[in-house]
């Protein structure tokens, strides 16, 4: 607790009236004692000028963080100030670290997308890497290798997902420490490190609460002598009413600051609102205090600013990009956010909301972004979900949908992976996930619609393209559930979903083979009927591609059931069509599929002389289509298996080793596909009677 003592001594040298905030106000980025250079960070929140006190808590955190390999969990209910104290720690003790990485971690997907920023920040040319899993592995390996002292903060870990994906396998051998904030009192981190601890965060002290309130009453300037302030006792009364909750106090401070009113006036408002509430609704606990603060604060927000606040409630709270909100919108509903409107309109709205502490305006890599507390989002959504707010709720969600649909890319119409779109998808995916979570949870009523199902489906297809199987399946099944809930037939959309779900399930083993077969059969039926019933003038080349893709996918299912001759006939039919569409340089993915799949049919016939060159052709064209991707590694793996069947064991081993190295780079040591390659390399050694190497 040496640092606690140092901070207390520093505080004691001041008079009793001197505020702790005054000591913290001048915190700026400092020089790292480890690297002799400025600390490198990613996504670190800005210094919070409202932060006060917490001297003992900060000292406890630092005592634990000083030990390399240590993981500390900060626990507490929403609004208690977990993220605020973690932010304060990263600034106050910044000079102790060469690297500070802040990772929003409300969901597994948001955590992964945020974690990618580590690689993008510290590894040369990482921006050229499109695959998320590879970026995650690059970031984790950097943490394992670097000799610089690092701090990793996982903020808002409130869902049960495995953080081991993001941490070095042996934290004790690193030069890092991890800080986790969570509402979960039972979050178990014992598997992450053998050095763990937890801190239960409580409300502010009465003096710290007074300090925050009096500063707001003084137009944001610190109060030199709190005890002599005429509203000193009144500040204490308000603090008690607010249960000394940091979030409630911050909102009260924002109200006083923006309204330029006295604390006495705020108490009058509180009393008036308290009297107007039904006695049975009144509560003296933390929830009652927050309810009263919302009741006062939100009612005073101007119309346009409140409309913006309603929109923000639907998006991911940690990073709502200005570019998501402001643009050349054509729909009149978004006129208030049109980029041709004077920027002072946007600035006026965000300035007012920021001054009231309802949002925070940040600058991330030169781009403006907003954050909003999740507890405030929940309150706004609760109000919108009231029976008398049906029309307003529908209008707000229509705005939300128009904004995210305008930014999130549509997938390829012929379902070909498009890596160039992945960075944009990664940027806006957290907002799609937020909307899906709200629909799924029922926190706010979002009616099912075809356009919502298509948006969720597009996000699922993006994850499929990036080889994120579990997450992609979850989104695609949600899209199906939306269609089912609304009673929408939408055969073509359902066919697109069936195709990708079946492809994802194929990666899950033979247990799902029957579902894959049934889904592909439905796709083929839909595509054939569309071809038969569609006006020839409206039937496009893309329709024809999708039809023959369905035939090809159906033939792949036949391969799983060892019906090679029937599959070969279908593949050849598709190949004739591909040749009519154009050369492989124009449609490389289609040719790649044909060569790859037909090779299996030749293998079944024992014709390895033609099977091996054919699968090599498939590998070449899939690399042309997708680059050095997971798909290319998969097809190289299949080539290795086919070469082994042909009897060339040495070459099969070499190929499997190449795939293993590539998968280690892309998926890391613990990736499922990496384990597959480890096993394959061992099996190849076994076939060569190299038992020591195999073991």
- Structural domain contains residue 645: yes
Average pLDDT over residues 178-206: 90
Asked if residue 130 lies in contact with residue 419, where contact means CB atoms within 8 angstroms, the answer is: yes
Q: How far is CA 297 from CA 222, 242, 600, in A?
A: 23, 13, 67
Q: Give the residue from 451, 471, 505 where a domain finishes.
A: 505
Radius of gyration of the chain (CA): 29
Q: Is residue 13's pLDDT more than 70?
A: no
pLDDT class for 620, splitting at 50, 70, 90? very high
Average pLDDT over residues 373-384: 92
The answer to whether residues 148 and 270 belong to one domain is no
The answer to whether residues 485 and 527 belong to one domain is no
CA distance 248 to 233: 18
The answer to whether residues 274 and 314 belong to one domain is no
Cβ density class 637-676: b for 16+ within 10 Å, e for less: bbbbbbbbebebbebbbebbbbbbebbbbbbbeebebbeb
Rounded-to-10 torsion of CA 579, 583, 587, 589? 80
Residue whose C-alpha is closest to residue 112's, from 504, 425, 354: 425
Q: Is residue 5's pLDDT more than 80?
A: no
Identify the CATH number of the domain in which residue 181 sits: 3.40.50.300
Q: How many residues does the chain have?
A: 695
The answer to whether residues 266 and 346 belong to one domain is no
Average pLDDT over residues 511-531: 92
The answer to whether residues 286 and 362 belong to one domain is no
Q: Is residue 14's pLDDT more than 60?
A: no
41 strand-pairing partners: 100
Q: Which of 361-375, 501-515, 662-676 has the highest mean pLDDT?
A: 361-375
pLDDT: is 616 or 194 the higher one? 616
- Structural domain contains residue 215: no
pLDDT: is 650 or 666 the higher one? 650
Rounded-to-10 torsion of CA 67, 94, 128, 405? 110
Residues 6+ apart with CB under 8 A from 563: none
pLDDT digits over 592-614, tens only?
A: 999 999 999 999 999 999 999 99
The answer to whether residues 135 and 71 belong to one domain is yes
Asked if residue 146 lies in contact with residue 129, where contact means CB atoms within 8 angstroms, the answer is: no
The answer to whether residues 291 and 146 belong to one domain is no
- How confident is the prediction for the chain on average, in pLDDT? 86
pLDDT digits over 426-482, tens only?
A: 899 999 999 999 999 999 999 999 999 999 999 999 988 887 778 889 999 999 999
Q: Is residue 31's pLDDT more than 90?
A: no
| Helices and strands counted in the chain (H then E) | 29, 9
Q: Is residue 26's pLDDT more than 70?
A: no
Residues 6+ apart with CB under 8 A from 99: 39, 40, 41, 122, 146, 148, 149, 150, 151
Residue whose C-alpha is closest to residue 69's, from 197, 176, 188: 176
Identify the CATH number of the domain in which residue 678 sits: 1.25.40.10
Asked if residue 417 lies in contact with residue 631, where contact means CB atoms within 8 angstroms, the answer is: yes
The answer to whether residues 70 and 147 belong to one domain is yes
pLDDT: is 192 or 343 the higher one? 192
Q: How far is CA 359 from CA 107, 352, 640, 689, in A?
A: 21, 9, 55, 66
Q: How far is CA 303 from CA 211, 300, 348, 353, 402, in A?
A: 31, 9, 12, 11, 20
Confidence (pLDDT) at 3:
42
Q: Give the residue from 300, 318, 335 where a domain finishes.
A: 300
Asked if residue 273 lies in contact with residue 332, where contact means CB atoms within 8 angstroms, the answer is: no
Residue whose C-alpha is closest to residue 101's, from 159, 174, 162: 174
pLDDT class for 9, splitting at 50, 70, 90? very low
Q: Give the residue from 300, 320, 346 where a domain finishes.
A: 300
- Structural domain contains residue 207: no
Average pLDDT over residues 189-217: 87
Least confident of 127-141, 378-392, 558-572: 127-141
- Structural domain contains residue 208: no
Quote the number of domains for the chain: 5
The answer to whether residues 394 and 350 belong to one domain is yes
pLDDT class for 2, splitting at 50, 70, 90? very low
The answer to whether residues 600 and 571 belong to one domain is no
- Structural domain contains residue 219: no
Average pLDDT over residues 162-172: 88
Q: Is residue 30's pLDDT more than 70?
A: no
The answer to whether residues 431 and 384 belong to one domain is yes
Alpha helices (runs of H) in 466-540, residue ranges in sequence order: 469-486, 491-506, 513-533
Average pLDDT over residues 292-310: 88
- Structural domain contains residue 218: no
The answer to whether residues 266 and 402 belong to one domain is no
Sign of CA dihedral 183, 87, 192, 65: negative
- The pTM assigned to this predicted structure is 0.83
198: helix, coil or strand?
A: strand
Average pLDDT over residues 321-331: 93
Q: Is residue 23's pLDDT more than 80?
A: no
- Structural domain contains residue 210: no
Confidence (pLDDT) at 278:
54
- Structural domain contains residue 216: no
Rounded to 5°, the CA angle 532-535-540 comes to 90
The residue range of the domain holding 353 is 309-505
Average pLDDT over residues 350-368: 88
Q: E-assigned strands of 89-242?
A: 99-104, 150-155, 176-182, 196-200
Confidence (pLDDT) at 342:
66
pLDDT: is 390 or 34 the higher one? 390
CA distance 345 to 100: 35
Q: E-assigned strands of 140-242?
A: 150-155, 176-182, 196-200
Confidence (pLDDT) at 692:
87
Confidence (pLDDT) at 37:
55
pLDDT class for 685, splitting at 50, 70, 90? very high
Q: Is residue 363's pLDDT more than 70?
A: yes
pLDDT digits over 532-548, tens only?
A: 999 999 999 899 989 99
CB-neighbour burial class of residue 18 (10 A; exposed 0-12, middle 13-18, buried 19+): middle
């Amino acid at each position: 607790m040496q640092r606690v003592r140092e901070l207390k001594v520093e505080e004691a040298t001041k008079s009793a009236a001197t505020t702790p905030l005054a000591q913290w106000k001048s915190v700026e980025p400092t020089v790292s004692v480890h690297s002799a250079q400025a600390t490198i960070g990613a996504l670190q929140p800005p210094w919070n000028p409202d932060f006060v006190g917490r001297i003992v808590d900060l000292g406890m955190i630092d005592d634990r963080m000083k030990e390399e390999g240590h993981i500390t969990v900060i626990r507490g209910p929403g609004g208690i100030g977990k993220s605020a104290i973690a932010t304060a720690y990263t600034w106050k003790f910044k000079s102790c670290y060469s690297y500070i990485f802040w990772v929003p971690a409300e969901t597994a997907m948001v955590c992964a997308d945020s974690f990618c920023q580590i690689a993008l920040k510290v590894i040369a040319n990482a921006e050229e890497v499109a695959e998320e899993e590879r970026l995650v592995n690059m970031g984790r390996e950097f943490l394992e290798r670097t000799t610089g002292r690092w701090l990793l903060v996982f903020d808002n870990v409130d869902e049960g997902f495995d953080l081991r994906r993001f941490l070095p396998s042996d934290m004790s051998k690193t030069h890092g420490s991890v800080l986790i904030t969570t509402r979960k009192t039972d979050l178990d981190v014992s598997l992450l490190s053998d050095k763990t601890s937890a801190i239960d965060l409580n409300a502010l002290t009465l003096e710290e609460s007074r300090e925050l309130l009096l500063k707001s009453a003084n137009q944001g300037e610190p109060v030199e002598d709190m005890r002599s302030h005429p509203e000193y006792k009144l500040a204490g009364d308000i603090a008690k009413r607010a249960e000394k909750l940091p979030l409630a106090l911050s909102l009260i401070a924002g109200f006083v600051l923006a309204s330029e009113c006295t604390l006495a006036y705020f108490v009058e408002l509180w009393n008036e609102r308290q009297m107007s509430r039904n006695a049975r609704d009144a509560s003296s606990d933390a929830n009652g205090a927050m309810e009263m603060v919302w009741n006062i604060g939100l009612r005073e927000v101007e119309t346009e600013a409140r409309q913006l606040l309603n929109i923000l409630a639907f998006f991911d709270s940690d990073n709502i990009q200005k570019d998501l909100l402001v643009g050349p919108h054509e729909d009149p509903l978004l006129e208030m956010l049109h980029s041709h409107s004077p920027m002072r309109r946007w600035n006026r709205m965000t300035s007012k909301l920021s001054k009231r502490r309802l949002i925070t305006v940040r600058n991330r890599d030169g781009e403006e972004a907003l954050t909003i507390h999740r507890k405030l989002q929940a309150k706004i959504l609760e109000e919108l979900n009231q029976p008398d707010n049906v029309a307003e709720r529908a209008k707000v969600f229509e705005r939300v949908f128009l904004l995210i649909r305008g930014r999130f890319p549509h997938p390829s119409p012929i379902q070909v992976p498009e890596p160039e779109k992945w960075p944009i998808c990664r940027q806006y995916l957290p907002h799609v996930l937020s909307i899906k979570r709200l629909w799924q949870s029922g926190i706010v009523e979002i009616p099912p619609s075809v356009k919502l199902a298509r948006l969720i489906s597009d996000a699922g297809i993006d994850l499929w393209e990036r080889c994120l199987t579990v997450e992609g399946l979850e989104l695609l099944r949600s899209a199906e559930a939306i269609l089912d809930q609304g009673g929408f037939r939408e055969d073509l959309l359902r066919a697109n979903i069936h195709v990708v779900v079946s492809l994802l399930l194929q990666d899950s083993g033979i247990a799902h083979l029957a579902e894959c077969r049934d889904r592909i059969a439905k796709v083929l039926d839909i595509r054939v009927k569309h071809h038969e019933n569609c006006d020839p003038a409206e039937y496009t080349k893309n329709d024809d591609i999708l039809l023959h893709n369905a035939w090809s996918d159906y033939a792949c299912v036949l391969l799983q059931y060892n019906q090679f001759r029937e599959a070969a006939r279908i593949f050849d039919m598709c190949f004739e069509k591909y040749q009519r569409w154009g050369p492989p340089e124009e449609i490389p993915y289609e040719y790649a599929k044909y060569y790859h799949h037909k090779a299996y049919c030749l293998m079944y016939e024992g014709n390895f002389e033609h099977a091996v060159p054919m699968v090599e052709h498939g590998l070449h064209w899939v690399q042309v289509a997708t680059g050095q991707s997971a798909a290319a590694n998969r097809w190289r793996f299949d080539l290795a298996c086919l070469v082994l069947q042909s009897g060339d064991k040495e070459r099969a081993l070499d190929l499997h080793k190449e795939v293993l190295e590539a998968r280690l780079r892309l998926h890391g040591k613990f990736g499922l596909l990496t384990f597959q390659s480890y096993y394959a390399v061992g099996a190849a050694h076994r076939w060569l009677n190299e038992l020591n190497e195999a073991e």
